[in-house]
Amino acid sequence: MRDRLQHLHRVKTDSEGFSTVELNSLSELEPADPDQDLDGVLNEAQQIRLEIQQIQNDISELQDVNYQTINRTSFPSVTKRDSNTIGADIKRRGEAVLQQLHLMNDLRGELEARRGPSDPAVRIARTQYHCLSNALREVMFSYNDTEMSHREACKRHIKRQMEVVGREISEEELEEMMEGEELCVFSVHMEGKTIHSALMQLQSRQQELLELETRIQSIQELFLDVAVLVEEQGAAVENIEQSVQKAEVIVHDGTTQLENASTSDKNNPLKRMFCGCFPCYHS
């Protein structure tokens, strides 16, 4: 990469007597007309972005909690929040973001009706809406992956604990256990601290798996809604060339309309009959 800014400074002719420093400070002043619609769109987008980031933080916290519950040898001590609370928060935030996105789309529609589809604020709103929808979907996928990994970790743990108890467990029995069937462990000798601790572990793992399933079930509808949201927008919007070209088409239509308007204006009988001194000419 070649930096040529210095070269430009050497070459440029100071035709209007402004130094670069002065012009920098000039441009720092208020821009001609702050576009409130545009600012509104960007602020709204930023809010949603922060909420999505918050969901991501919740997911990281959930990963920690999940890890600790499996890897502690003693019962988990008081953590800030447990997995159910975090899961409920993720669901609540996800649903709220979805709502905000719908509102954002409505806002875009209203702006479009008012300012036309090629207006930059409208196009910015469309792009932000699309990218944020994708971001929400990604973060929900990430939540699903986190829960699924935890489920696998629990299964592995159960298998190990069962071996400690002296009983091999098959895949089918594992599945049954995950669906809440009581496991027949009591046919083995149950003496000793190790066995006792293993049984406690097994019970809490089973409990966790059941809670996990419940969490995933309750969020199913949110997954579905987010999937529909993304599907309706299509994949092409991510493609930069497509976004730019779509804008082109619309602008082209606009210029055609302008041309038509000026032709019909030329044919305005008032313009043809009178000279430029009549007041109605300049409407």
Partner 1 sequence: MAPSGLKAVVGDKILNGVIKSVKKDGEWKVLIVDHMSMRILSSCCKMSDILAEGVTIVEDISKRREPISSLEAIYLITPEEKSVDALIKDFKDSAFTYKAAHVFFTDTCPNELFAKIGRSRVAKAVKTLKEINVAFLPYESQVFSLDDPSSFESFYSPKKRDERDKAIASVAEQIATLCDTLNECPAVRYYKESEENLKLADEIRRRLDAHKADNLKMGEGPDKARSQLLIVNRGFDPISPVLHELTFQAMAYDLLDIKQDIYSYQTTGIGNSKEREVLLDEDDELWVQLRHMHIADVTKKVTELLRTFCESKKMSTDNANIKDLSQMLKKMPQYQKELSMYSTHLHLAEACMNKFKATLNNVCEVEQDLAMGANAVGEPLKDAMKSIVPVLLSEIDAYDKIRIILLYIFHKKKGIPEENLTKLIQHANIRDDSKIITNIQNLGCNIIVGGQNAGKMLPERKERADSTYQLSRWTPIIKDIMENAIDDKLDRKQWPFISEPATITTTQTAVSARFGHWHKNRSPTEHRSGPRLIIFMIGGVSHSEMRSAYEVTRATDGKWEVLIGSTHILTPTSFLNDLKKLE
CA atoms of 199 and 194, how far apart (whole Å): 9
Q: 3-class DSSP state for residue 129?
A: helix
Which of 240, 273, 275, 280 touches partner 1 (CB under 8 A)?
Answer: 240
Which of 96, 190, 235, 261 touches partner 1 (CB under 8 A)?
Answer: 235
Residue with Cβ nearer partner 1 (2 or 189): 2
Residue with Cβ nearer partner 1 (65 or 122): 122
Window contacting partner 1 (CB under 8 A); options: 58-66, 100-108, 201-209, 230-238: 230-238
Q: How far is the CB of 199 from partner 1 (least distance, A)?
A: 27
Q: Are 175 and 237 in contact (CB under 8 A)?
A: no
Window contacting partner 1 (CB under 8 A); options: 78-86, 92-100, 197-205, 224-232: 224-232
- Residue of 136, 153, 145, 46 whose CA lies nearest to 96: 136
Supply 237's token pair.
Answer: 């919007």
Supply 263's token pair.
Answer: 């032709």
Residue 217, H or E segment? helix 193-218
- DSSP conformational letter for 77: -
Which of 56, 127, 197, 204 touches partner 1 (CB under 8 A)?
Answer: 127
Residue with Cβ nearer partner 1 (1 or 277): 1
Which of 203, 255, 260, 262 touches partner 1 (CB under 8 A)?
Answer: 255
Say what angle helices 120-165 and 83-115 make with each other, to 10 degrees: 160
Q: Are 122 and 111 in contact (CB under 8 A)?
A: yes
Site map 138..157 versus partner 1, x via CB under 8 A: --xx--x-------------
- Residue of 97, 96, 60 whose CA lies nearest to 80: 60
Residue with Cβ nearer partner 1 (27 or 187): 27
Task: Please list, in sequence order, all residues whose beta carbon lies within 8 angstroms of the beta carbon of residue 199, skipping any fewer than 6 positions away.
Answer: 165, 185, 190
Site map 28..57 versus partner 1, x via CB under 8 A: ---xxxxx--xx--x---------------
Q: Are 283 and 276 in contact (CB under 8 A)?
A: no
Window contacting partner 1 (CB under 8 A); options: 87-95, 123-131, 165-173, 198-206: 123-131
71-100 positions binding partner 1, by CB under 8 A: none
Window contacting partner 1 (CB under 8 A); options: 53-61, 136-144, 161-169, 179-187: 136-144
Q: What angle do CA 175, 147, 196 make, to 5 degrees?
A: 55
Q: Is 208 in the site for partner 1 (CB under 8 A)?
A: no
Q: Are 238 and 134 in contact (CB under 8 A)?
A: yes
- Residue of 197, 201, 206 whose CA lies nearest to 175: 206
Which of 113, 224, 261, 270 touches partner 1 (CB under 8 A)?
Answer: 224
Residues forming the site for partner 1 (CB under 8 A): 1-5, 7-8, 11-13, 15-16, 18, 20, 23, 27, 31-35, 38-39, 42, 118-120, 123-124, 127-128, 130-131, 134-135, 137, 140-141, 144, 220, 223-224, 226-228, 230-232, 234-244, 247-248, 251, 255
